[in-house]
Amino acid sequence: MFRSIFFQSLFLLTVGLSVGHVHAGDTIVVPPNMFQVDHDLQLIVVNLPVDEVNAQWPNLKAAIHTDEIYALSADVQEITVGTAIAVANAAGEIYQLYFTALPLIAITTNQVIVDEPRVPGNFMISDTSGTVISAGLGIEFRGSFSQTYPKKSYRIEFWNDSTGMENVDLSLLGMRSDDDWNLQAMYNEPLRLRSVVCNKLWRMIHAPYYQTAEPNAVTGVAMEYAELFVNGSYQGIYALSERIDRKQLKLKKYNGSIRGQLYQGVSWGAPTFSFAPPYNDSLRSWSGFEYKYPTEVTEWFFLHEFVDFVINAPEGEFLAEYPSRFELGNAVDYFIFLNLLRATDNTGKNIYVALFDSGTPYFYVPHDLDGTFGVIWDGSQENSTNDLLMNGFYARLMEDCEPDGFRKRLQARWNALRTDILTSGQIEGMFDHAHALLTSNGAYEREALAWSEYSHDPGQLDYLSTWLTARISYLDSAFNIYCGPTSIGKQDFIVFSMYPNPTSDQVEIVLGGARSTADLHVLDATGRTVMKQALHRARTVVDLRRLRPGIYLVQLESGNHTTTMRLVIN
């Protein structure tokens, strides 16, 4: 945790004679831990600040000393961030040298990294302030389908020993102090921006309703960019991320009774309020949910009872009781967020359901936000802007036209957010700022060096801008549709539920409100329509046997309105 000009000067004296033959200029000496070298890619990345470099070595620079001395191909007067410089080692091999303002992370391990368990290793991070943090760690791959990508995401845990029996909390890059962190690869996101921007946007929109009781509670995560080396191999741009857990949310601890609760939606079913099958307390998973907290016991009764209530409660009972069971402000904010992003994987699968304390309402926490703003889970563009994403819970909430009910609150909250945070200029500015950061540091160039199939396309920003303008325009209309005490307002929206989900052969579509007709479209993962059917009744069983197993979008259209839900066919 140092940077010392005095140290650099002394070090320069020790190497001065050996580099004198290179050129007549200065040799930049980089302190340990402020550079990383990939000898296979012949890449050197340094995050010693360039203003300090140019001040310490004001003359022509002829060489640089990192792990060894490299001669610059031509003397350089001014070092700049993000510009490649050709250098040669003593053997005459040509390397590309970059100076970056991004943090550098180096992880080493003698064992093969796998999904689980975590294997021991060592961690080091340095930033341009001169802070260097080192620790032992356990590391494993994270994610499900994303593990099939060549660029892996990681979960890391800081250890005081080689077995993980004793952990240590560290604060990294100004984020929380904790032992458990994610390194997100963002391989499926063409600009490496969406997850970082979306998580920041959520924290701007939403604060926990219980923040007075827990001032440090955050219902989201902070993320910071870094460049990662694993065993000397450059892995490219990563987002170092906090984790959603009891500590982040400040949920009440288990004290012999279940108080705070945390569940992660990992697949379709109960998380989309499509199905509430029996549960087994001997298992930490149930119908698409994973049980995250408490860790001391497993008791699915509470969540099962809530999901069953949402699916099966009569309309009057649902409208009377749901505000005491689920925090209405959070439900509104998340519905706005979900639909602004058009996060098609986040109606249930990539989501957390949490409860602060016994007797308090549930609330949502977003998770994994790469497939957003006009792209889907695999990074491909899905240029759809005129639909609403739903799950079974939101399908019922959209029927609430009471004066202080969901629809009225949704309208008021959306219009308030549109005055400042949720403007095209504000959101585009967040993307432009993040893109400029990575571009100016040359990070996209190095990403392409590490992953030859990657190609940085700045035109993606134009696509995103056009998409966002159309999306906001649609939501301005959709969220402001009249919703009154009569059924007339309710009929303007397409509200439906769909179950079972997942399914293998058929699904029942139930239209909400007084609506009894709609057009059904089933789209595959490429966006191609693979099935169409007109619905002429409030309840229709749809035969899906001719469709292959996979993930589909089910869209119901009527007039100018479209509602979308995700369907899994096993």
Same domain? For 318 and 455 the reply is yes
Same domain? For 455 and 313 the reply is yes
Per the domain annotation, does 255 fall within a domain? no
Q: Which residues of 402-417 are buried (b: 16+ CB within 10 A; e: fewer)?
A: eeebbbbbbbebbeeb
Rounded alpha-carbon distances, angstroms, from residue 498 to 152, 348, 511, 560 = 34, 13, 9, 21
pTM: 0.88
Domain of residue 279 covers 265-478
Same domain? For 308 and 456 the reply is yes
Last residue of a domain, one of 454, 478, 502: 478
pLDDT-derived band at 254, boundaries 50, 70, 90: very high
Per the domain annotation, does 277 fall within a domain? yes
- Residue range 441-482, pLDDT digits in tens: 999 999 999 999 999 999 999 999 999 999 999 999 999 988
Q: What is the CATH number of the domain that holds 545?
A: 2.60.40.10
Q: What is the DSSP string of 220-258?
A: S--EEEEEEEETTEEEEEEEEE---SHHHHTPPPPSSS-
- Residue range 266-294, pLDDT digits in tens: 987 899 998 899 999 999 999 999 999 99
Q: What is the predicted pLDDT for the residue at 128?
A: 94
Which residues, including other chains, have CB under 8 Å from residue 8's CB and lie 6 or more apart? 29, 31, 56
Which stretches does DSSP call E strand in 384-457? 388-389
Give yes or no for residue 144 having a pLDDT over 90. Answer: no
Give yes or no for residue 140 having a pLDDT over 80. Answer: yes
Last residue of a domain, one of 478, 498, 519: 478
Give yes or no for residue 167 having a pLDDT over 70. Answer: yes
Last residue of a domain, one of 83, 99, 115: 99
Per the domain annotation, does 422 fall within a domain? yes
Rounded alpha-carbon distances, angstroms, from residue 341 to 224, 406, 497, 498 = 20, 20, 22, 22
Same domain? For 291 and 318 the reply is yes
Beta-carbon count within 10 A of 55 CB: 10
What's the chain's average pLDDT? 91
Q: What is the predicted pLDDT for the residue at 12?
A: 40
The tokens describing 298, both together, are 């497993």
pLDDT-derived band at 492, boundaries 50, 70, 90: low
Same domain? For 324 and 384 the reply is yes
Half-sphere exposure of 342 (CA within 13 A, CB side): 25
Number of domains into which the chain is organized: 4
Same domain? For 553 and 432 the reply is no
Beta-carbon count within 10 A of 505 CB: 11
Per the CB < 8 A criterion, the answer to whether 479 and 389 are in contact is no
pLDDT-derived band at 96, boundaries 50, 70, 90: very high
Same domain? For 235 and 136 the reply is yes
Q: Which helix (H) or strand (E) holds 179?
A: none
The tokens describing 399, both together, are 């029927």
Between helix 424-440 and helix 443-450 the angle, nearest 10°, is 70
Strand order through the sheet with 94-99 = 26-29, 61-65, 69-76, 85-88, 94-99, 43-46, 35-38
Per the domain annotation, does 208 fall within a domain? no
Give yes or no for residue 330 having a pLDDT over 90. Answer: yes
Question: What's the CA angle centered on 42, arms 36 and 48, to 5 degrees?
Answer: 30
- Beta bridge partners of residue 496, listed in sequence order: 511
